[in-house]
Amino acid sequence: MPNPNAELSSAYQTILKVVEQVEPRIAAATRAELTDQRGSLKLIASENYASLPVLATMGTWLSDKYAEGTVGHRFYAGCQNIDTVESVAAEHARELFGAEYAYAQPHSGIDANLTAFWAILAHKIEGPALTEFGAKTVNDLSEADWATLRKRFGDQKMLGMSLDAGGHLTHGFRPNISGKMFDQRSYGTDPTTQLLDYDQIAAAAREFKPLILVAGYSAYPRRIDFAKMKEIADEIGAVFMVDMAHFAGLVAGKVFTGNEDPVPFADVVTTTTHKSLRGPRGGLVLAKEEYAASVDRGCPLVLGGPLSHMMAAKAVALAEARTAEFRTYAQNVADNAQTLAEGLLKRGSTLVTGGTDNHIVLLDVSSFGLTGRQAESALLDAGVVTNRNSVPADPNGAWYTSGVRLGTPALTSRGFGAAEFDRVAELIVEVLSNTTPVTASTGKPGKAKYTLADGVAERVQGAADELLDAHPLYPGLEL
Ligand code: DSN
């Protein structure tokens, strides 16, 4: 069978030549980005490399069609093909995750969470209020009823994982609209083990009595027992919502099963499609049937017109995620994270929670005498792309931080296995143990500046190139 990447080579060459004639800087940046991605060790835990069929699906005239509304119920004429696209994406999502209902329109993770929050508010607050006020729809409410309803929306509470312990901004934190919509509290992790403590979560839930209990994270290197979380939610009558954006690929690939699979337990599950799930950038909402009609109101309630080309690409990626190859990939992502963690530990590093059992390794760089900012920059100088991240109770705050978050989804997509990830651990330690903070003008240790010993960046980039050349990105694709 011909290599599909090679077949797409000439298509991409032609596309870029056409783009070049209109705006050469964009064609150049697109080419340069491929070179950069091919030439660096991408360890950002939330990034991946979508397949060329997924990327190609994004670049079509499906983008040109407005289709506000839902399948079969659009506010524009001529949406028959978009109905097909959205139905296929939702069908794959339902079947892949075993969900009762799926909504493929959210443009991002934030959009998916906003859709979910409003669906829960509509179902739990607006619906009962309509009955109470003797109204059939919101259009029947009087101004006084509206004033009462608005106050009820504004009085709701959310309990989610603290940012400091690895939670996400959209789970009720002030810089995000969720922190302005909800009265929010958070649960953290045990100060000694740095692991979730379900007794502490239950105690916080009993005391605070939130409308929504949220589980999910963007920087916690461990699995969650969703059966226990559901028990806590049920005890206090809360809606249980899970944001699985980070680990959706591990759920899809059946690495997380039983109590570690959120879909059977949660009322509403949200995700992005571009992280471990390896699809296009975008979001999804899965829900129990009870919430379906409310989630369907996402557009135009909080979402602009659906991006039909992106829903098409989600459908292609979800079809890929239903294959045996994807299951192997997902298992490799988790196995490689173990190897990376062990490789760092045996070379004297400190890891938050002492290890990992998902796709994330959170390296505490204070043992190297560095801030996260210094470590992130020094690693980048050597071709290792990571992002700085707070560790629990971080003395350096959310900007400089004391940690670096590492993830295995992207390099696993390139075919890296245990030997390669052990070598990656060695290279990371080589960079960090040769990085020295520069003392600030105040005489205190600086938080941003650093020096990397002579020759280290070149040596590590050379070693990285050997690994990368042996596992090419989009082999056969030549621009
Ligand atoms: N930006 C994503 C991440 O890096 O985890 C979360 O939104």
pLDDT tens figures, 63-79: 999 999 999 999 999 99
Beta carbon of 109 within 6 Å of any ligand 1 atom: yes
Beta carbon of 46 within 6 Å of any ligand 1 atom: yes
Which of these, 356, 331, 334, lies nearest to 344 by C-alpha position?
356
Beta carbon of 386 within 6 Å of any ligand 1 atom: no
| Residue 33 burial by Cβ neighbours in a 10 Å radius (0-12, 13-18, 19+) | exposed
pTM over cut 0.95:
yes
| pLDDT at res. 441 | 81
* Confidence band for 8, pLDDT divided at 50, 70 and 90: confident
User: Which ligand 1 atom minimizes the distance to the CA of 219?
Assistant: 5
- Name residue, tokens 């670096």: 404
| pLDDT at res. 442 | 81
Mutate to test the pocket of ligand 1, among 46, 176, 246 (most ligand atoms within 8 A of CB): 46
Predicted confidence (pLDDT) per residue in 390-416, tens digit: 999 999 999 999 999 999 999 999 999
* Partners of residue 269 on adjacent β-strands: 242, 286
Average pLDDT, the chain: 96
Beta carbon of 273 within 6 Å of any ligand 1 atom: no
Structure token digits, residue 287: 């829900």
Structure token digits, residue 477: 């694709």
Predicted confidence (pLDDT) per residue in 349-371, tens digit: 999 999 999 999 999 999 999 99
Predicted confidence (pLDDT) per residue in 216-225, tens digit: 999 999 999 9
CA-CA distance, 151 to 129, in Å (whole number)? 12
Decide: helix, strand or coil at residue 391: coil
| pLDDT at res. 31 | 97
Handedness of CA 418, 422, 428, 431 (dihedral sign): negative
Cα of 241 from ligand 1 centre, angstroms: 18
CA 312 to chain CA mean position, Å? 19
